[in-house]
Amino acid sequence: MTDTDNRRLLLLVDDAPANIQIANAILKDDYRVRVATSGAKALELVKTRPVPDLILLDIGMPEMDGYEVCARLKADEVTRDIPVIFLTGKTEAEDETRGFAAGAVDYIHKPFVPAIVKARVHTHLALRAAREEIAERLAEIQKELEMARKIQLSILPHSVPSVAGLEIAARYVPMTSVAGDFYDFLPVDEKRFGVLVSDVSGHGVPAALVASMVKMAFAAQAAHARDPAEVLRGLNLALCGKLEDHFVTAAYLFVDTEKGTIDYAGAGHPPILVYSRSAGGARAHQQNGLFLGMFPQAKYSAIQIPLAAGDRCVVYTDGISEARNPKAEEFGLDNLQALVEADPNLTSDAFADRVLVKVKDWTARSPAQGHDDDITLLTIRVNQGGAAS
């Protein structure tokens, strides 16, 4: 064996010199072979660089049999991925079952048949190489997804507008590394701003790419920030013909604290919720035209909603309203409305966090288990004396 020998390395473990001689004779022309005559020696040699690509392990050895050696190999992070083929004279099903339970990938029975030995070694080395290639590719994909996640986060607002008399909070929870939800603001002056919440059909990278297109198209609507219907019309025209099988739902609001109003228009989006302190309850408003990106001639209209001290407005994507519990029941608008009405004095940040907790409790899933859809939530609360009467 030379330092320049790049053949795959096998570790052959057997306490019988005759078996070692026969197996080595079968394999030495195609592979490098390292030999151990006991289980303890095998556990020592297996971590010697270079680490073997495959282990041929005799079962019936004194002091430490092959089952124990295999179990120790599989319990060690350094060696657990090395395939182990048992060498045995036993042919009982119970013996083979025990071997597979210990972590072996195959059996070679004694006396050795050269063609079978070569075929099984070749097969499992090929399988390991394929697994390693898949793992490398998955690592590359994960790296690319992480880069895409960072890029997507960079297109979202780094902060919410600071407007006297208002508390504004936004939450963005992607289903995967990247998402099709998007929100952004169009500041006009210290008392007025526009806000868009949108949801691209589908998930993952394709939806995220469309969300990036929405970002660019939305920035181009700054001149029409005061006119929700015109903003949605402009977005629709900019997106039509570019989305293939995707479409976008959206809600756009223009908030005027001097007038104490919200002008709102939607495009196939879930209704917004507005809590009125004077009325003592929340009401759903939906002023929808067609979703964006499919129909160039689509028209949109807006409604005006009064906004007074103590009022709250909530805009969201259907990742909240359509979140399902283990019985496949949706969280729904009623549950969200109940949260809006439950404690009108909560700050916007506290309210947004409460909604996310309630949705998580509803779905009975941990954060690690994720969601069925992307989630975006934006809430605006008027402080006492914060809006025109």
Query: Residue 341: which CATH number?
Result: 3.60.40.10
* pTM attached to this predicted model: 0.70
Q: Look at residue 143 and tell me if it is in a domain.
A: no
Q: Look at residue 87 and tell me if it is in a domain.
A: yes
Q: Same domain, yes or no, for 346 and 215?
A: yes
Q: Identify the CA nearest to 321 among candidates 374, 252, 369, 263.
A: 374
pLDDT tens digits, one per residue of 120-130 = 999 999 999 99
Q: Same domain, yes or no, for 245 and 126?
A: no
Q: Look at residue 150 and tell me if it is in a domain.
A: no
Tell me the C-alpha distance between 327 and 311, whole Å. 34
Among candidate residues 136, 168, 189, the one where a domain is terminated = 136
Q: Same domain, yes or no, for 255 and 132?
A: no
pLDDT tens digits, one per residue of 311-349 = 999 999 999 999 999 999 999 999 999 999 999 999 999
Name the residue range of residue 100's domain: 9-136
Q: Same domain, yes or no, for 37 and 183?
A: no
Q: Same domain, yes or no, for 174 and 50?
A: no
Residues of the chain with pLDDT under 50: 1-2, 389
Q: Look at residue 320 and tell me if it is in a domain.
A: yes
Q: Look at residue 54 and tell me if it is in a domain.
A: yes
Among candidate residues 71, 103, 136, the one where a domain is terminated = 136
> Over the range 167-205, which residues count as b (16 or more CB within 10 Å of their CB) and which as e?
bbbbbbbbbbbbbbbbbbbbebeebbbbbbbbbbbebbb
Among candidate residues 105, 136, 167, the one where a domain is terminated = 136
Q: Look at residue 65 and tell me if it is in a domain.
A: yes
What is the per-residue pLDDT for 30? 94
What is the per-residue pLDDT for 176? 65
Q: Look at residue 149 and tell me if it is in a domain.
A: no
What is the per-residue pLDDT for 389? 44
Which residues, in sequence order, are CB contacts of 309 under 8 Å at separation 6+?
277, 382, 383, 384, 385, 386, 387
Q: Same domain, yes or no, for 131 and 170?
A: no
Q: Same domain, yes or no, for 128 and 193?
A: no
Q: Same domain, yes or no, for 162 and 301?
A: yes
What is the count of structural domains for the chain? 2
Q: Look at residue 389 and tell me if it is in a domain.
A: no
